[in-house]
Amino acid sequence: MTEMAATTPSTTPGRWNALRANLPTGWGAAATVALAWIALIVASGIHRADFLSHQTVLAVSFTMAIVGVLAVAQALIGMSGAILDLSQPTGLIMSAAVVAWLLERNVPIPLVVVAGILVGAAWGFANASIVVLAKLNPIIVTLATNFIGGAVMFLVYQNAQAPLKSSFSDFGRSYFLGLPNIWWPMLILILVVGYFLPRTRYGRHMIAVGGNRFAAQTRGVSLKKTRLAVFSIAGAIVGGAGVLFACSNGPFAPTAGATFQLPVIASVILAGCSLSGGRGNVWLILLSVGFLSTVPTSLVFFGLNSNWQAVFQGIILIVAVSIDGSRTKRTQR
Amino acid sequence: MSMDKSAPVVEPTGLDRHQLRDLLTGSVTSIGVALLLVVIIGLTWVGPNFLSTSNVTIMGSFVAIPMIVAAFAGFALLAGVVDLSIGSMLGFSSNICAALMAAGWPLAGAIPVALVACLICGAINATAIVIFGADTIAATLGMLVALRGMTYIISGPVGMIAAFDNDFYNLVNLTVGPLPLIFVFSLVVIGLAAFIVSRTRRGRHIQAVGGDDRAAARAGISVTRVRFVALMLSALGAGIGGILYVGQLGSASNYTGTGLEFQVYAAMMIGGYSILRGGIGNPIGAALGLLVVAGTSNIIDVRAISPYLTNIIVGLMLLAAVLLDRLRGGDAYE
């Protein structure tokens, strides 16, 4: 992690600054999120002792699974300097719908999973092709393709669902070591991506492109190839989230993915991944997703209905980006 | 062009060749041509009924409120800060207004409360973005979700508040010839915004800040203040739009304004604005962009084709518009 550390020049001498410079990247974000998470759990536990139960753990980890997988994809996009992929909801549901369609036709499950991931990758590649060929900003491209893709899906179907009585749906509704099955793929993904990103050549190229694209280019990193690769990989991850979504959810409409957009972006920013690229630690996503996924359950225990969830998530995002903004302002000076 | 040949010295007040070229290739012209195309397609495909009094009234009342919202949101885009929360803000304002009216408040009391609530939210947006340097899209996306949640809470378990004020309803739904009064009002608002942007010092300050904030700061313009005010204006426009919806519909629901930000910004980008780069765009272009979208969706409605086709066409037009903007010299993304 240390090689990714944005070297914060300590302008004023002192032990505090020396200490800060030696800490790994994102420690500030990690500490803030961890403290907030602990505070939330303690407060909810004091308010209602039955909050601290296995039931809560299940609810939280179930929410974490899909948000966490999507957050990894979003973090890759952000760290490579492509800012935001607003077409994630469409990619997610497109993959889930194809998975449901194939399962109804009795296609073997391993093939279905591969197909779901490939649909996501193809969606990412299509977005990247427009970005690279037309040289347009990814935010606007993905805003438009999300619009178009959602409408196209409505022309094809209104409501889809993976067959309930199948080992596929059983998997999505069962548990392993006391946690939902769909939670474990998310954990493995975060650990693997977080490990390999700073330790492999391709991972470092990606972060270099995000940090300073022109410097990376003069060192022989192809911007076009990197963009295509990052979007395709992120798309494949979104496709994987679609598979998890299909096996754990009831009937879903083409717009069902929209609710994930905000918690995903919020958790990426809370984890200290810069949207403008070059900085971030994927492992910390586990913390931020955990914190954000605890909020809805806590609110229920505080007697606030689910509408307050949106209010709190929105406020948390505003606070998080404000902290992120003042942090970048400080390092730029 | 022939004028140039006869007069070798270009008159300083007349159209020189560059101005003429800008006029012919500028965003307002291309969107004007697009609008003409929509009208021609409408007249050939739908028939002369496309421009009939009743259809024009329908389109006018459909597009009026988004146009007012766009006129105000345009200030924020021009200053280089996009406000994604306008759709939810509109729903928030209309639900506050309707809830107070339903509780027996007079209109003169409900309107200021709704507007002040929106201005407070606008100030929160502005504080996060301008003072703390938060990412504009992410911060206003947070506000979008928070205010949609508030809208659900205010509208209660039924999800709808009936707030019928006879005089208000009649005023908003009055027609002047074939045009709804509210549409005429929105044209006036667009005209005023266009005047402020292109003819006043403050308008040029906003453009300068959006175009190059460092240069603007060096020229002595307070970037912070301009952007703060621009975001407040954007919130105010959404607040006004929400109140007008209460008048138009006689009610407010938790769904009011959902997705409006995408409609409005897609239309504004088609009309020459950019949501990522300030300093470009004109309220008249925004109005034409909204008319193009309204005309397209009207054709699709009348011909009873799937309404989702509108989204596909708008999405494609949006991509075409940003591509055109880049070919015209906008920033290329690499």
Q: Determine whether the interchain pair B306/A154 forms a contact, defined as Cβ–Cβ distance below 8 Å.
A: yes
Secondary element (H or E) of residue A327: helix A307-332
- Give the integer Cα–Cα distance in Å for A148 and B206: 33
- Residue that wins the pLDDT comparison between B202 and A159: B202
Q: Judge whether A138 is closer than 8 Å to chain B, CB to CB.
A: yes
b vs e for B4-34, b when ≥16 Cβ sit within 10 Å of the residue's Cβ?
Answer: eeeeeeeeeeeeeeeeeeeeeebbbebbbeb
Best of A143, A259, A299 to disrupt the B interface (most B CBs within 10 Å) is: A143
Q: Determine whether the interchain pair B319/A328 forms a contact, defined as Cβ–Cβ distance below 8 Å.
A: no
- Give the integer Cα–Cα distance in Å for A324 and A274: 8
DSSP B64-98: HHHHHHHHHHHHHHHTT---TTHHHHHHHHHHHHH
Contacts of A84 in chain B (CB under 8 A): 137-138
Distance from chain centroid for Cα B177: 25
Contacts of B316 in chain A (CB under 8 A): 144, 148
User: What pLDDT is stored for residue A269 in this prediction?
Assistant: 85
Secondary element (H or E) of residue B161: strand B160-162
Least confident of A11-20, A23-32, A208-217, A250-259: A11-20
User: What pLDDT is stored for residue A25 in this prediction?
Assistant: 56
Distance from CA of B166 to the nearest CA of A (A): 32
Contact A310, B134 (CB under 8 A): no
User: What pLDDT is stored for residue A4 in this prediction?
Assistant: 42
Best of B77, B95, B141, B260 to disrupt the A interface (most A CBs within 10 Å) is: B141
What's the one-letter identity of residue B313?
I
Strand spans (E) along chain A:
175-176, 179-180
Is the pLDDT reported for residue B6 higher than 50? no
- Give the integer Cα–Cα distance in Å for A224 and B232: 39
Facing residue for B332 by CB, picked from A135, A152, A329: A135
- Give the integer Cα–Cα distance in Å for A125 and A205: 18
- Give the integer Cα–Cα distance in Å for B224 and A193: 39
Q: Determine whether the interchain pair A135/B314 forms a contact, defined as Cβ–Cβ distance below 8 Å.
A: no
Contacts of B152 in chain A (CB under 8 A): 307, 310
Closest chain A residue by Cα to residue B313: A148
Contacts of A133 in chain B (CB under 8 A): none
Least confident of A1-10, A149-158, A176-185: A1-10
User: What pLDDT is stored for residue B4 in this prediction?
Assistant: 43
How high does pLDDT run on average in chain B? Answer: 88
Distance from CA of A133 to the nearest CA of B (A): 10
Contacts of A276 in chain B (CB under 8 A): 135
Distance from CA of A63 to the nearest CA of B (A): 18
Beta bridge partners of A211: none
User: What pLDDT is stored for residue A274 in this prediction?
Assistant: 72
Q: Determine whether the interchain pair A134/B323 forms a contact, defined as Cβ–Cβ distance below 8 Å.
A: yes
Is the pLDDT reported for residue B10 higher than 60? no
What is the longest distance spanned by two Cα atoms in chain A? 68
Instruction: Render pLDDT for A71-112 as a digit per residue (tens, 0 to 9).
Output: 999 999 988 888 889 999 999 999 999 999 999 888 898 999
- Give the integer Cα–Cα distance in Å for B327 and A307: 44
Contact B68, B191 (CB under 8 A): no
b vs e for A179-196, b when ≥16 Cβ sit within 10 Å of the residue's Cβ?
Answer: bbbbbebbeebbeebbee
Instruction: Render pLDDT for A294-309 as a digit per residue (tens, 0 to 9).
Output: 988 888 888 888 789 8
- Give the integer Cα–Cα distance in Å for B167 and B169: 5
Facing residue for A309 by CB, picked from B149, B266, B310: B149
Contact B66, B290 (CB under 8 A): yes
3-class SS at B252?
A: strand
Q: Which of A46-55, A324-333, B128-137, B275-284 has the highest mean pLDDT?
A: B128-137
Contacts of B319 in chain A (CB under 8 A): 130, 134, 136, 140-141, 144
- Give the integer Cα–Cα distance in Å for B253 and B66: 17
User: What pLDDT is stored for residue B17 in this prediction?
Assistant: 65
Is the pLDDT reported for residue B97 higher than 80? yes
Mean pLDDT of all residues in A149-177: 84
Rounded to the nearest 10°, the torsion over CA A161, A165, A168, A169 is: 60
Total CB pairs under 8 A between chain A and B: 151
Q: Judge whether A265 is closer than 8 Å to chain B, CB to CB.
A: yes
- Give the integer Cα–Cα distance in Å for B51 and B46: 9
User: What pLDDT is stored for residue B330 in this prediction?
Assistant: 72
User: What pLDDT is stored for residue B7 in this prediction?
Assistant: 43
Is the pLDDT reported for residue B143 higher than 60? yes
Mean pLDDT of all residues in A235-251: 93
What's the one-letter identity of residue B19?
Q
Contact A68, A289 (CB under 8 A): yes
**Helical ranges in A164-260 per DSSP H:** 167-172, 183-196, 201-211, 213-218, 223-248
**pTM, full prediction:** 0.84
Is the pLDDT reported for residue A11 higher than 50? no
User: What pLDDT is stored for residue B192 in this prediction?
Assistant: 96
Count the Cβ atoms, other than its own, within 10 Å of residue B148: 25
Q: Determine whether the interchain pair B146/A311 forms a contact, defined as Cβ–Cβ distance below 8 Å.
A: yes
User: What pLDDT is stored for residue A15 in this prediction?
Assistant: 61
Is the pLDDT reported for residue A180 higher than 90? no
- Give the integer Cα–Cα distance in Å for A271 and A280: 7
Q: Determine whether the interchain pair A310/B138 forms a contact, defined as Cβ–Cβ distance below 8 Å.
A: no
Contacts of B153 in chain A (CB under 8 A): 305, 307-308, 311
Q: Determine whether the interchain pair B142/A316 forms a contact, defined as Cβ–Cβ distance below 8 Å.
A: yes
Is the pLDDT reported for residue B288 higher than 90? yes
Residue B162 — very low, low, confident or very high, per pLDDT cuts 50/70/90? very high
- Give the integer Cα–Cα distance in Å for B109 and B97: 9
- Give the integer Cα–Cα distance in Å for A89 and A153: 12
Instruction: Render pLDDT for B304-327 as a digit per residue (tens, 0 to 9).
Output: 788 788 888 888 988 888 888 888
- Give the integer Cα–Cα distance in Å for B138 and B144: 10
User: What pLDDT is stored for residue B24 in this prediction?
Assistant: 65
Mean pLDDT of all residues in B99-111: 94
Facing residue for A317 by CB, picked from B141, B147, B319: B141
- Residue that wins the pLDDT comparison between A36 and A118: A118
Using CA atoms, how far residue A264 sits from A286, A288, A313, in Å, is 12, 10, 11
User: What pLDDT is stored for residue A159 in this prediction?
Assistant: 83
Distance from CA of B143 to the nearest CA of A (A): 6
Least confident of B51-55, B65-69, B304-308: B304-308
b vs e for A96-124, b when ≥16 Cβ sit within 10 Å of the residue's Cβ?
Answer: bbbbbbbbeeeeebeebbebbbebbbbbb
Mean pLDDT of all residues in A148-155: 91
- Show the tokens assigned to B70: 């766009």
User: What pLDDT is stored for residue A167 in this prediction?
Assistant: 80
Contacts of B332 in chain A (CB under 8 A): 135
Q: Determine whether the interchain pair B132/A323 forms a contact, defined as Cβ–Cβ distance below 8 Å.
A: yes
| CA atoms within 13 A of residue B74's CA, in its CB half-sphere | 34
Mean pLDDT of all residues in B181-187: 94
